[in-house]
Every structure is written in C-alpha cells, then in structure tokens.
Amino acid sequence: MRRKAENRQCGAPTNCWTLTEAPREPILTPSARISAAIEILDDIFARRRPAADALKDWGLAHRFAGSGDRAAIASFVYDGLRRRASAAYLMGTETGRAVIIGMLRLQRGLAEPTIAGLFDGGRFAPAPLTDDERKRLIEGNLTEAPPEIAGDAPAFVLPSLAAAFGDDLMEELRALGRRAPLDIRINTLKQSREEAAAALNDLGAEPTPLSPLGLRIPIGEDGRGPALHVDPLFLEGGFEIQDEGSQLASLLASARAGETVVDLCAGGGGKSLALASLTGNGVRLIATDADPRRLAPIHERLRRSGAEVEVRTPRTGKARADVLADLDGTVDRVLIDAPCTGTGTWRRNPDAKWRLRPGSLANRTGEQAEVLDRAARLVRPGGTIVYVTCSVLPEENDAAVDGLLTRSGGAIASVATDLTAVPGLSDKVRRTQRGVQMSPALTGTDGFYVATMTRIL
Ligand SMILES: C[S@@+](CC[C@H](N)C(=O)[O-])C[C@H]1O[C@@H](n2cnc3c(N)ncnc32)[C@H](O)[C@@H]1O
C-alpha cells in the first residue's frame, strides 16, 4: 500500500527550497508573500545574483516562513523573471515592484482592482499602487513593444532565435515564457506506466501527450506542484522527474539491445537512466562526464532505479586520464547530451535567460566541438552518434553538427533521425538541415534538438 507523501508543496526543482526541511504551515498573507518576492527580485537585479541563491538567503533570514510560503514566493519570483522585460516595459521601470505588478497582470492575468487589493499598504503588504501604476495597468499594453521585450528574451540572442523560428518567433517566445509542466519518466524496470499511473492516481497523474514513458502531474494555479522528491514511489526508484522533451531525446537515441552505448555527457545521469529503462537493461551502457561532481549523483540514482550502467569517473586536474581510451573505434552508439546555453529550457529556468552572455554562447560552442570530436573517435565504422542539446540556437545545433562533418573530412555523415519510436512526433517537430527541433510551441516540450550521424570511414 502506498504511503501518502508528507510534503507536496513544491514542484520543479527551481521552485524548491524546502526539500530537506519538515513542512510547516504557511503563515504569510498573499500580500506579505508579494512583498518578499519584490525584496528578492530587487536583490537579484541589484547584485546580479542567481535567483536560487537570493531565494535561499531570504529563506535563511526568515526561518519562520512556512514551506508553502516559500514555494509561493519562489513562484512569484520565477514568474517575475519569466516576464522581466515585458513587465518592466508595461510599468515603465525595472524594479522588483514593477516587475511583480506587471507580471501579475501579464502572466497571471489579474485585473487592476485585484492587484490593488494585494497592494493594500497593510502590515507586511507592499505600498498601495500609485496613480501611474494604476493607469499603466489599465491602459498599458505590449502592442508597440519590440520583439525582445514582448517576447522576454535577451536582445543579443534575438537574431539567432529569429533564424531558428522564422515566422513563428513570437509564438515560440511566448511559449518559452510560460511555465513548464511537471513531467515524470516512469522507470519501466520497476513497473509499467499504467501501474505507476494507478499508484499516483491521487496526484491526478495523466499520460504525457507524446512520450510513452511519461506521466504529467498537475500543478496549482500558482505553479506549485507536489513534492515528488519525497514521494514513496520516487524513493523506491519507480520514477524520475524528467521533462517530456528529455524523455523524447532519450527515445530518439534509438539504442538497440546488445549495443555498446556511451553516454558521453552523462551529468547526473538523466539520459543514462532513461536508456537503461527503455532498453530493459539490454545495452552495455557506459556513462561518463568531464566533471566528476556533476556525475556523482548518478550512483544513488542507479541504486534506486536498478539501472545497470558502468560509470567511469575522471579524476580532476590537468593529468586527468581519458577514461574511455580503451573504447576508441569500438562503440556502437554515442549519445552526446551536450553542454549548451539551455535556451530551450527557459520555461523551467527563466533566470538563465537573463544570465546568458555572448561569451557563454562562445564557450558552449567550443565545448560542443570538443565532445563531438571525442564521440567521433569513439564510434566504430557504421556506428552512430546522437547529438542532443536543450538549446534552440542554430549555432549550437546544425552549425555544431556541420562543424564535425567538415572536420571529419567525410568520415562522419549526417543521417535522418529515426522518429518512429515516438508515435505522432513526426508531424510536430521542426525539421532543420541536420536534425529535428522540439519546442514548447510545437511539441509542448522544452526546446530539445536531436541530430544523428554515422561513421562511414
Ligand atoms: C546537458 S548536461 C548533461 C545532462 C545529463 N545528460 C542528464 O540527462 O541529466 C551536459 C554535461 O556535459 C558535461 N561536459 C562538458 N564538457 C564535456 C566534455 N568535454 N566531455 C564530457 N562531458 C562534458 C558537463 O559537465 C555537463 O554535465
């Protein structure tokens, strides 16, 4: 019999503050939560801090706040970041207060009288709306706003986004500005999706629209979902929290039973776990990552899930040996879940878009060339390289693949990505010159790109 989870206050990891704390009843009024969110956003803007750090510090300084309060405040902060540019434009200034007021109207659809009711100037509430703020809420709109403002994207990256999305640019930017759904991937090494859905019935779990491995968990109006990290089925390894797009990318890797597969950028192991599960531990799966700290959580996840994966951890430092040297030229399939700017995950991590700099794009494309070259040395003749990013920028996608094709001097060729593992996907994805692009507007997923190559020489 499934035990009821104790704390279901918190959904996406970015909204979680309280996973290790005992749940406490909310004690702040909605207006007091808004005051807190304004204070935190001002801190983020003034000190250019990561949102997670600012939230954590606020929590430490306000230990009396309940876990429900913290989740609700985080939700205000992340929604504010989602609409940072458009809310500031609407309100004529970029302060925490302006962004929250504009967000309540643009993102949460609240009318001026409702917002005025929250800004009532009472104890712990924000000061009452000014005449100018009221006027802007009633009369303001985004009709004349430039695309980077209306679409809440950094201006420098807009030409790349326009190249990726063409006529669909604004629709895609709006979709990237919405909240992401809360998806889990069922570990079919433990039970079927149907069995998991029955076990999670009290959460309202429904099958994901495209992934045959996923369930979608409803989240509240304020973006809060259940605390899945403490759910009994999660603790038993029955599921992992994983966006549907990430599940689809794992399926499109098309690993086949009996193959030797390397997950070259395994990080915490999200794709490795998925590959092991969907092949029924039928492949020899080797996971590694340049950063041992990122790889470390995989061990606990493997224990929980029953996935069979050989983890090869590099030593840090200059003398780090190539832990895959013995596999050169022998691997059937290399999955590259490449380091990238994460522009496809802005729904989930809105802080990332405002922290993106031209230099970080250049750094990521350099790393992508490095991992592609490494994969090319690993794969056997006739073997396959599957290149994945959670970016929508052509520089990190088709251009990165083109770079490898050119550098390989004809030894590596681009082939069509097999979409048959995911019924219905073929009609939805955007086809690029070298691969396929998923996106919030087209597939309802994060913006994953998948391209497939083979070694012909
Ligand atoms: C998108 S993340 C991987 C996420 C992971 N596959 C998952 O599903 O949870 C990209 C990873 O690439 C790793 N990385 C960066 N450069 C690398 C390199 N040269 N070789 C191997 N891994 C690298 C980073 O440390 C990071 O963990």
Question: Is 352 a domain residue?
Answer: yes
Please compute Rg for the chain using Cα positions.
23
Question: Is 377 a domain residue?
Answer: yes
Same domain, 358 and 275: yes
Last residue of a domain, one of 151, 173, 195: 151
Answer yes or no: is pLDDT of 57 > 70.
Answer: yes
Question: Is 335 a domain residue?
Answer: yes
- Per-residue pLDDT tens for 86-126? 999 999 999 999 999 999 999 999 999 999 999 999 889 99
Same domain, 220 and 263: no
Question: Is 156 a domain residue?
Answer: no
Total domains, the chain? 3
Q: Is 390 a catalytic residue?
A: yes
CATH number for position 420: 3.40.50.150
Confidence of residue 1 (pLDDT cuts 50, 70, 90): very low
What is the pLDDT at residue 13? 36
Same domain, 138 and 276: no
Residues 6+ apart with CB under 8 A from 357: none
Tell which atom from ligand 1 comes closest to the C-alpha of 389.
1
Question: Is 173 a domain residue?
Answer: no
Confidence of residue 16 (pLDDT cuts 50, 70, 90): very low
Last residue of a domain, one of 134, 151, 168: 151
**pLDDT average, residue stretch 444-456:** 98
Joined tokens for residue 191: 């039970």
Answer yes or no: is pLDDT of 2 > 60.
Answer: no
Question: What's the CA-to-centroid distance between 295 and ligand 1, angstroms?
Answer: 9
Confidence of residue 221 (pLDDT cuts 50, 70, 90): confident
Ligand 1: residue whose CA is nearest its atom 18:
290
Binding-site residues = 289, 337
Question: What's the CA-to-centroid distance between 265 and ligand 1, angstroms?
Answer: 4
Ligand 1: residue whose CA is nearest its atom 4:
267
Whether the CB of 435 sits within 6 Å of ligand 1:
no
Same domain, 316 and 420: yes
Same domain, 263 and 406: yes
Same domain, 323 and 373: yes
Same domain, 60 and 193: no
Last residue of a domain, one of 235, 252, 278: 235
Whether the CB of 203 sits within 6 Å of ligand 1:
no
Same domain, 80 and 131: yes
Answer yes or no: is pLDDT of 11 > 50.
Answer: no
Whether the CB of 290 sits within 6 Å of ligand 1:
yes
Question: Is 226 a domain residue?
Answer: yes
Tell which atom from ligand 1 comes closest to the C-alpha of 370.
19
Question: Is 4 a domain residue?
Answer: no
Ligand 1 pocket test, candidate residues 273, 289, 349, most atoms within 8 A of CB = 289
Per the structure, the complete domain to which residue 192 belongs is given by 183-235
Answer yes or no: is pLDDT of 15 > 80.
Answer: no
Same domain, 368 and 391: yes
Same domain, 217 and 304: no
Catalytic hit among 16, 265, 340, 390: 390
Distances (CA, A) of 348 to 11, 310, 321, 334, 342: 11, 30, 35, 27, 10
- Per-residue pLDDT tens for 255-294? 999 999 999 999 999 999 999 999 999 999 999 999 999 9
Same domain, 259 and 386: yes
Whether the CB of 312 sits within 6 Å of ligand 1:
no
Question: What's the CA-to-centroid distance between 452 and ligand 1, angstroms?
Answer: 18
- Per-residue pLDDT tens for 134-143? 999 999 999 9
Tell which atom from ligand 1 comes closest to the C-alpha of 266.
6
Same domain, 196 and 143: no
Question: Is 227 a domain residue?
Answer: yes
Binding-site residues for S-adenosyl-L-methionine = 289, 337
Instruction: Give ipTM to 2 decimals.
Output: 0.99
Question: What's the CA-to-centroid distance between 178 and ligand 1, angstroms?
Answer: 26
